[in-house]
Amino acid sequence: MTRRIALITCLILVTPVVLILGYSRLLQNLANEGGKLFDDRCNNVNPALISYKNAYLEMMKLLNNKDSKPSQQLQLQIQTKLSDYISGIKAYIPLEEAWVNKQSKFVKRWDFIYLQPEFIKNLSIYQLEMYQGYLDHAKATIALMDSVGTSKASELRAVANEAGQRKVDASKRYFTAFDQATKRSDWRKLLWKSPPVNCPEENLIIPDTSFDTIFPSPTPDIPTRSPNS
């Protein structure tokens, strides 16, 4: 009888520990996979994204420079930056498509769906929506530029603007969720460690060019640092 009581007591004490350790291992695995996706995006996708956005900002700087008088040299500089902008977007699109596909598969994993804490789950989903918005906007921008002078230009401009607004809205949701997750107190945070970041600081600075079509009206915003890129 005493041995049975001791065994039951042992099971009562050990079982929760085993379950917590197992849960911790699964959460750590999710964190490691998420870290790989972060490094992949930061080192392979962000440079192309940053490059074409910087080309856009440089082009806009030339267009908005009131001190510069119209000249053939200025026109050539603008055309060069426009060419860099277009080629940059085209180089970025397949890279973003590949990453969005990887992130989409990640958030559909059974362990992500059933084990990931809700606040982390939402953060990953909002991040996916944000970069899907970047991708859709880039595609719409190329389609718009290809349609200049055609009857479809007005329709495609609306598509590009809608994609741009969706990108902005998704970015706001993501950064709000990121700030909330950072400040949140949750015992489950003790069950995993964030993997080390293998990404240069400059790849985290994404220029904010909201509604960056070839026919922009507002002045481009100040670049914003993305904590999770």
> 11-21, pLDDT tens digit by residue?
555 566 566 77
Pick the residue with more confidence: 153 or 14?
Answer: 153
Most confident of 134-143, 171-180, 193-202, 206-215: 134-143
Per-residue pLDDT tens over the stretch 52-67: 999 999 888 888 776 6
- pLDDT at residue number 12: 59
- pLDDT at residue number 13: 55
CA–CA distance from 193 to each of 92, 93, 169 (Å)? 31, 32, 30
- pLDDT at residue number 153: 78
Is the pLDDT reported for residue 137 higher than 60? yes
Dist CA 208 CA 1 (whole Å): 71
Q: How confident is the model at residue 217 (pLDDT cuts 50, 70, 90)?
A: very low
Around 79, how many Cα atoms within 13 Å sit in the side-chain half-sphere? 6
- pLDDT at residue number 18: 62
User: Which whole number is the average pLDDT over 30-49?
Assistant: 91
- 28-37, 44-53, 202-211, 216-225: least confident range: 216-225
Dist CA 91 CA 72 (whole Å): 28
Is the pLDDT reported for residue 146 higher than 70? yes
HEC sequence for the chain: CHHHHHHHHHHHHHHHHHHHHHHHHHHHHHHHHHHHHHHHHHHHHHHHHHHHHHHHHHHHHHHHCCCCCCCHHHHHHHHHHHHHHHHHHHHHHHHHHHHHHHHHHHCCCHHHHHHCCHHHHHHHHHHHHHHHHHHHHHHHHHHHHHCCCCCCHHHHHHHHHHHHHHHHHHHHHHHHHHHHHHHCCCHHHHHCCCCCCCCCHHHHEECCCCCCCCCCCCCCCCCEECCCC
Beta carbons of 107 and 126 less than 8 angstroms apart: no
Is the pLDDT reported for residue 1 higher than 90? no
Per-residue pLDDT tens over the stretch 79-123: 888 889 999 999 999 999 999 999 999 999 998 888 888 888 888
Q: Which sequence spans correspond to the domains of the chain?
A: 25-225
- pLDDT at residue number 159: 84
Please report, to the nearest 10 degrees, the dihedral formed by the alpha carbons of residues 201, 204, 209, 211 taken in order: 180
Is the pLDDT reported for residue 211 higher than 50? no
